Amino acid sequence: MACPHFKLKCISIQEIEQHYKNIEGIINTIRLLGRETYRKAYRKSPQDIVFRVIEHESVDSNFIEGFPKWKSKLNTLLI
C-alpha cells in the first residue's frame, strides 16, 4: 500500500515497532562487543539493515574540529 504523501510503501505500527526492537538489539550488541568488533563481524555477514561507517577524522586533534566534517558526511547519507 502506498502512502498518500510519499512515494513509499506504508508499514504498520507493529512493523515499525519491530524495526525499533531490531535496532535496539543491534545497539546493545555494539555495546557488548565494542564498535570495532561489531564492524568486523558486520562486514563478514549479510544484514537486513544498512550500516555505514563514517570515520571521525581529526578526532584526537586539539586544533581541528572533526565534528562538522562528520556531520556533513552523515547529512549526505541521509539526504
Q: How far from each other are the two terminal CA atoms of the chain, in whole angstroms?
A: 24
Report the amino acid identity of residue 77.
L
- pTM of the predicted model as reported, rounded to 2 decimal places: 0.50
- The pLDDT assigned to 75 comes to 87
- The pLDDT assigned to 7 comes to 57
Residues forming beta bridges with residue 9, ordered by sequence position: 2
CA distance 16 to 21: 9
20-77 pLDDT, tens digit per residue, is 898 898 889 889 988 888 878 777 777 666 667 777 666 666 666 777 888 888 888 8
The answer to whether the Cα torsion of 21, 45, 55, 36 is positive or negative is: positive
